[in-house]
Structures are given as C-alpha cells and as structure tokens.
Structure 1
Amino acid sequence: MNDLPLWSGFQRADGRKGIRNLVLVVYTVECASHVAHAIAQGETDTHVIGFPGCYDNQYAIRLILSLARHPNVGAVLAVGLGCEYTQAEKIAGMTGKSGRPAAWFTIQENGGTRSSIEKGKRIVGDLRRRIERETPRVPMGLADLTVGCECGGSDGTSGLVGNPVVGAFFDRLVDAGGTAIFEEIVEMIGLKEIILDRAATPEAREQLESAYEKAVRYCRQVRQYSVSPGNFAGGLTTIEEKSMGAFAKSGSRPIQGVIKVGQRPPFPGLWIMDSVPDDHFMMFGYTNPNDTEGLMDLISGGSQLVLFVTGRGSVIGSPVSPLIKVTGNSRTFQRMAEDMDFDAGRVLAGELSLEAAADELGKLIAVTASGRPSKPEALGHREYFVMYKHQDTPTIEQGCRL
C-alpha cells in the first residue's frame, strides 16, 4: 500500500491538508436554507450545510464549526435570517480564526430573497477566486489522510466481505501513518470483551468501556437496537450478528481511544467516534440516527474522505468530503451500478482475495483523493443532517483547535 502514488493536496493554515478546495455556504436557521441553496446552485465546488433550529445547540454548533474549518474547505460564507440564536457573524468570525477567508450577512438586513441570493453569489465568486489564487498545493499520501467509515443498509454480505475489505484497508492506512475513524457503537452491542481487547492502552480501554455501556443504556431507554426490517430481509437475524459485521470494518489494529463528534483524533491511528447522546440528556432532543447523520459526524472529525458500506444499496452522498460506496453484494453493485463505487462481492465469488480487494480499494481511494469524483460526487449528492443532540464534548479549543 505504501507504493500508492502521491497526489497534490491543498495546504491549510492550521497545517492540515485537504483533498478538495471548497467554498462552504452555511445557513444558521431553516428560514435561510432556500437562500443558501440558491446561492450555491451553479457555483463551482460550492457546497451547503446548515442547522434548521432557531435555538442553538452546543452539539450542532460544534459540528458546524468543525465542518467550516475542515481541511477540504477553503472559504466560508455564513447566511442567517437575522433573528435566530445561532449567529452568522459568529460562525464566520470563528472560522476566520483558522486562516480561512470567511464572510457573512443576514437576509433581513439585505432586502430579502433575490437581493440576498445576488449578494451571496458575488461573495462566493470572490471567495472562489481568492482561494484558487492563494491556496498552496502540496504533495499528499496515505500518511496525510484521515478516512472515516460507517455502514448502512446492511445485509449478510456486509459482515462477510463489505466491512472486512474496509477493515483490511484500514490496517494498511494505519500502518502507513494515516488515521482511520469508525463509529456506530450502538451497532456493537454484544461485543464488549472483543472491543475492550483491542484497546491500545488502559486509558483507551476505560474510554471504550464507558462508551459501550452508555450505548447499551441508550438502546434500552429508547427501546430500540440498531437493526431494521431491511437488515432482516438481507439475511441478518440478531443485533449481535449485525454487530460482528459492523465491527469488522475496524480491521485488526489497536484502537487508540474514543473521540466525540466535532473532535478530531489527537494523533494518527485507529479511533472510534462516540455519537450517542449522553445519559442526562436522553429524552430532550432524542436523536433519530441515520446514515447521513453518521457521515456528517465522521467528516466533523476531520475525515477528508468517507467510506460507506451497504449491502442492500444506497443513493446518498455527503458534503465537504467525497463519499465512496462499497458493497459486498455483487447483485447490488450490478443493479445500482450508477451509484455504487466498489464491488467487494467479488471476494465471495472467488474472483479475488480479501487482501487484493483491499489493495484495489486503496487505489480507488488514492484516485479519488487526487481529484477524480466518486459516483456520489459526480451525481451531485450532497446530503447532510444536523440535529439537536447533547454530548459532553471537549472545549471548542480542544475539539476544533481554535
């Protein structure tokens, strides 16, 4: 895997490197979402994220700031209505401290919809020209990458080959000095001792045990485990069976510790992200986890690229970071070829080994990191979801490196 070619990335002022050079339009309340999307429409490499709530939420703000300061983002425009708690001026100000060009305005103070769209497009154009002119290009390799992974729409092939192929790639990424992040602790119920045995240090073991026990309490309280009718139809029978398959995407290297949403790993290696709401805030803002939310969480941890393993198929994408969709079901790959990037089902068919599949996946990741769009990117999929949630996350200085 170390023989993969280098590619050219984008150097950020905070020392990180990006594989895309995006302008991000951030809206701070649902009332501003139409204007934000209209501003981005037709603009080159311009993506949108936003928070629908009128009242702010520490979890949501932390996630938005992490995305605004992501290594794939070169500049930010924050757009607000003008009367919400989450203030566009503060989002832009905090983003600007990272060395990125950042601008903001409110629709109420700018005359309404049409005038705000026109103003936003002028600003985006100026930001685009600036980052194209000023952003240094630098060599990148696996050691510079942070890759996240989650699975969804799972079937029996996900645990047999889809997730194991990603796990084998994660081993190679970590060995090369890169960083791998996986999540979905609620899909690891029943695996406590297996998870704890992978802890790199006693401190990591304590973090893993605490996160696992919280996930169990959460599932019991909301009376739902992370298994669906589609999983059953795809051949899975129990949460434990699904958990074994989900955990396979972590590979075999030691787990360095647990990070929260909006917090990036403090050093390279394999990390697990805890996105489960904390105990004392379970009932208000009850989270309804979904694949789009999980991908946003992983990107907020600094993942420049994300992998999504799905046996039954999916048509989602992601903003900020390219999404590569992997399936262990060759029939799904053939049926949804326009959406799926990688067919790991060939391992089940005996056409290639698990190790060969991991090498091939690594080459696809390198090509995507070098600038070739993944299928979700090429199709224009930019799904995002930011919800109310509570977590006792680190300070903004620790989590977002302000």
Structure 2
Amino acid sequence: MTMTITNAQSPELQGYLRADGRKGIRNVVAVAYLVECAHHVAREIVAQFRPAFDAFDDPAREQEPPVHLIGFPGCYPNSYAEKMMERLTTHPNVGAVLFVSLGCESMNKHHLVDAVRASGRPAHVLTIQEKGGTRSTIQNGLDWVREARETLGRQQKVPMALDELIVGTICGGSDGTSGITANPAVGRAFDALVEAGAACVFEETGELVGCEYHMEKRAARPELGREIVACVAKAARYYSILGHGSFAVGNADGGLTTQEEKSLGAYAKSGASPIVGIVKPGDIPPTGGLYLLDVVPDGEPRFGFPNISDNAEIAELIACGAHVILFTTGRGSVVGSAISPVIKVCANPTTYRNLAGDMDVDAGRILEGRATLDEVGREVFDVTVAVAAGAPSKSEALGHQEFILTYKTFEPVGPACLPAGAAARNVVEIALQ
C-alpha cells in the first residue's frame, strides 16, 4: 500500500543551485581535515562559528551559512576515502570548502581542492607545516571561513522540485518496536517520495540477510535482481568471516529475538516501490526511484567491520548525494550529522517520551492506537519536505555534527546495477575514476 501524492499536494522547494545543475537545501562551509594530525586545528576553526542552541529561534542567525567539520583520520592512501571526501565536499548542500592538511599525509589535497573549485565552489587548503603551526593556521582558517560565509550569504535560492531530492534512510538502536512502527512508516514516506520523483536510498546489506529474495522480486530488471542476491550473499559471507553479525547486544536487550526479525524490520524502511538500482558509497543515483546502497566492502575483509557506527553509514548516504537522512530508532539515538540534516523517527513511545527533545516524529503512536501507519508515514513525508524547505531537524537545531570516515575498498558497480541510459553510464564512468 502506498500514499498518493498528487501534483496539487507536491510543494515547491527552494535550493542553492550548483554548477553541475544539482541543488542544495543547505549552504554549508565544510572544514575538512585530511589526517588526524590536523583534526585539532580544523576543530578549533569550526568552534568559532558554532551557533548557540537557540540560534534557530533567531531569523537573522538562520541566514548565516553554517560551518561543519568533516575529515579523514588515516595517514595511508585509500581510494575509497578519497572518493568519499571528493563526493562530500562537492555535495549540493556544501557551498565552500576549507581543507586543513598537516603536510605529509597521503590524501591528495591538490586534487581535492581542484575538484571543488572545478565544481564552482570556493575552496582553499591550509598546510600546517607551511603556515607556522597551530595558532597561525587557525587564524588563517578563521579569516578564510569568514570571507567564504560572506560570499555564500549573498547567494540567492532558486525553485527546487521534489524530484530533485535524494533521501537516505538508516536504522540505529533498533528494538522490538522498530519493525512495527518507525521502519514501515519510513517505508510509506519513501513510497510517496518515489512517486513524486525523488531518489530514495536504503541500506545496509548486512542487516538485510534473509530478505534478498524478497528484494529480488521487487527489482526493476531480472539482472538487477540477481545482483541484489549476490550483494546480500557477499554481506553474509563478510560477517561470517568476521565471526559477528549485525545483530547487537543492544538489539536483544530491546526485545529483538533473531537476525531474521531485525532484517525484516530493517527491510520495512524500503517501502513497496520497485528497486531500480544498486549504488556503492559515493555513487550518485542517476534517476529518481528506489536504490539499495551496498556498504559492505568488496574482497576479503581487510579493515574490520563494514561500519563502526551509524554515522559511518550516514556519511556514505550523504556521499551518494542524500540531502536528508531519515533515522529510525527504538532504543533511542541522539546523533545527527554534518552536511545533511538527520530526521529522527522514534519507534518506541516510551523512548519518545524520554527523548522527545531529540526526536522529530513519534511513530510509537501506532502501538498506542493514537495514529495509523499511513498517518505517521504522511507525517514523515511532511517533516522531510519541511526540513528540505529549511526547517531545522531536532539534531540540527541541537548542533549535532557527528562524522566518521574510515578505510574500505570497493569495485565499481556493474551495468546491471543501474537503470539503462546515458545518465547511468555517466555514473559508471565516475565510479571508474
């Protein structure tokens, strides 16, 4: 069952037009450290621009471009990390980028700054070893960010339609209520967004073990169905080698009984729309429709667990172009994200009452008979549109900017994974770079 969104119901948004034709719902100045040794300097630069918790109550402050901290801690080369950093710093929600380098890390800062400038955004790199150390680099960074904010503050918004949105979803802190309330409510919202032409991305294959043949039946093409089955099989094998599945102690404490129960609950977030493609971290969906994000690395396990926390997965959804992230939780989570706002959909009514200040939608009303699944699904859709139109999510208003990027390795997606046409071929070509 899906919710029907008519043309009369479809709101028009406004966004920041980028040189590649994409539009952002935020105009963030990203400060990106390129190795852990530069983390402190970058953090100190960002700290000078953090708004007070009540900043969103002040209309004048709402117009100031926010400054967000992202980064990569590793010193050794990794093509996944470099691709992720390039996609994140050219994300449509990002208006300008300051890279902070120590000077001897492996991340290719010159390529990154050139890529951001080529995308039409202001970009600059500061190298601590060449700028006189901590104090001098921080001061240089503060000066550059102030100028970038002034430039971005003069940028005008343009009309933006729902079919220009990319929305991601993730679950974290799942419990026995997640698969009954919040996850299927997000599935209803996904169906409505897909109907309106948006691209929607769900993951994670490690939490979908057992659901692969259900997804195969929903695949838009037989060859895509086979790729979905192989994708989940890869995840199952990866976790088996590690000796640990995606079923955590906290899930059991929250009332989940088996991996299968958790998988079915996570699967509910995808809704009922046809699955039109598979993407990997950093691949941008070439069309509207529903996509599966494969977050499990290719090859033999080399870098440990596929993702060490929910925020690593959020970063991957954002690298795929997601403007907004729908985060379902039963036990409760307070994290947000840099770059793209996170909307919390709370599955458990008790958790919602305890953490109401961090939750955007109370899906637990379904359990208590205070709302239907369709009604909560419609609310998730409406909140998504409101946040895309500029309203802050709870985590955004509280100043949450969690971010994690680690090591992984991926092969490019094959042609069977993407819709046919020139746009899909372009994504494959990008993935091969």
TM-score over 0.5 for the pair: yes
Separation of aligned partners in 2, 1:42 and 1:284: 35
TM-superposed CA distance for 1:127, in Å, is: 1.3
The equivalent residue for 2:344 is 325
Out of 349-358 and 308-317, give the one that drifted further: 349-358
Secondary structure of the 1:100 match is: coil
Q: Residues 84-99 of structure 1: matches in 2 within 5 Å?
A: 84-99=105-120
Separation of aligned partners in 2, 1:235 and 1:169: 25
Report if the CA contact (8 A) 2:412-2:428 is conserved: no
The equivalent residue for 1:259 is 279
Distance of aligned partners of 1:125 and 1:57 in 2 relative to their CA distance in 1, 3 Å threshold: same
The equivalent residue for 1:32 is 38
From 361, 365, 385, give the equivalent of 1:342: 361
* Aligned sequence identity (%): 47
TM-superposed CA distance for 1:284, in Å, is: 4.4
Separation of aligned partners in 1, 2:224 and 2:388: 30
Out of 241-250 and 141-150, give the one that drifted further: 141-150
Separation of aligned partners in 2, 1:288 and 1:100: 30
The equivalent residue for 1:142 is 162
Secondary structure of the 2:74 match is: coil
From 56, 67, 70, give the equivalent of 1:46: 67
The equivalent residue for 2:299 is 279
Separation of aligned partners in 2, 1:224 and 1:285: 11
Matched, 1:11 2:42: no
Report if the CA contact (8 A) 2:331-2:348 is conserved: yes
1:92-124 per-residue CA deviation (whole Å, 9 max, x = no partner) reads 111111111111120110001111011001111
Q: Structure 1: which amino acid aligns with 2:168?
A: G
Distance of aligned partners of 1:288 and 1:353 in 2 relative to their CA distance in 1, 3 Å threshold: closer
Separation of aligned partners in 2, 1:165 and 1:341: 13
From 215, 235, 249, give the equivalent of 1:215: 235
Distance of aligned partners of 1:308 and 1:399 in 2 relative to their CA distance in 1, 3 Å threshold: farther
The equivalent residue for 2:139 is 118
The equivalent residue for 1:389 is 408
Separation of aligned partners in 2, 1:379 and 1:153: 20
Q: Structure 2: which amino acid aligns with 1:35?
A: V
Report if the CA contact (8 A) 1:80-1:87 is conserved: no
Separation of aligned partners in 2, 1:172 and 1:396: 25
Q: Structure 2: which amino acid aligns with 1:32?
A: A
TM-superposed CA distance for 1:393, in Å, is: 3.1
Matched, 1:157 2:177: yes
The number of residues matched between the two structures is: 400
Unaligned 5+ runs, structure 1: none
Report if the CA contact (8 A) 1:178-1:268 is conserved: yes
TM-superposed CA distance for 1:360, in Å, is: 1.4
The equivalent residue for 2:89 is 68
1:58-98 per-residue CA deviation (whole Å, 9 max, x = no partner) reads 11111111100101001111110001111323211111111
TM-score by length of 1: 0.96
Distance of aligned partners of 1:401 and 1:104 in 2 relative to their CA distance in 1, 3 Å threshold: farther
Separation of aligned partners in 1, 2:205 and 2:89: 26
Report if the CA contact (8 A) 1:304-1:321 is conserved: yes
Report if the CA contact (8 A) 1:306-1:324 is conserved: yes
Separation of aligned partners in 2, 1:129 and 1:151: 37
Out of 149-158 and 349-358, give the one that drifted further: 349-358
Separation of aligned partners in 2, 1:27 and 1:119: 14
TM-superposed CA distance for 1:248, in Å, is: 0.2
Separation of aligned partners in 1, 2:213 and 2:13: 40
Report if the CA contact (8 A) 1:264-1:400 is conserved: no
Report if the CA contact (8 A) 2:116-2:123 is conserved: yes
Q: Structure 2: which amino acid aligns with 1:86?
A: M
TM-score by length of 2: 0.89
TM-superposed CA distance for 1:206, in Å, is: 2.5
Report if the CA contact (8 A) 1:78-1:89 is conserved: no
Q: Structure 1: which amino acid aligns with 2:234?
A: K
Matched, 1:56 2:81: no
Q: Structure 1: which amino acid aligns with 2:429?
A: Q
Separation of aligned partners in 1, 2:276 and 2:430: 17
Q: Structure 1: which amino acid aligns with 2:309?
A: N
Distance of aligned partners of 1:151 and 1:289 in 2 relative to their CA distance in 1, 3 Å threshold: same
TM-superposed CA distance for 1:171, in Å, is: 0.3
TM-superposed CA distance for 1:401, in Å, is: 11
Separation of aligned partners in 1, 2:130 and 2:165: 41
Matched, 1:101 2:132: no
Separation of aligned partners in 2, 1:287 and 1:184: 10
The equivalent residue for 2:416 is none
Secondary structure of the 2:139 match is: helix
Report if the CA contact (8 A) 2:213-2:229 is conserved: no
Q: Structure 2: which amino acid aligns with 1:315?
A: V
TM-superposed CA distance for 1:42, in Å, is: 2.9
Report if the CA contact (8 A) 1:163-1:246 is conserved: yes
TM-superposed CA distance for 1:305, in Å, is: 0.4
Report if the CA contact (8 A) 2:277-2:291 is conserved: yes
Separation of aligned partners in 1, 2:248 and 2:304: 22
Q: Structure 2: which amino acid aligns with 1:30?
A: E
TM-superposed CA distance for 1:21, in Å, is: 0.5
TM-superposed CA distance for 1:397, in Å, is: 7.8
Secondary structure of the 1:308 match is: strand
Report if the CA contact (8 A) 2:11-2:162 is conserved: no
The equivalent residue for 1:289 is 308
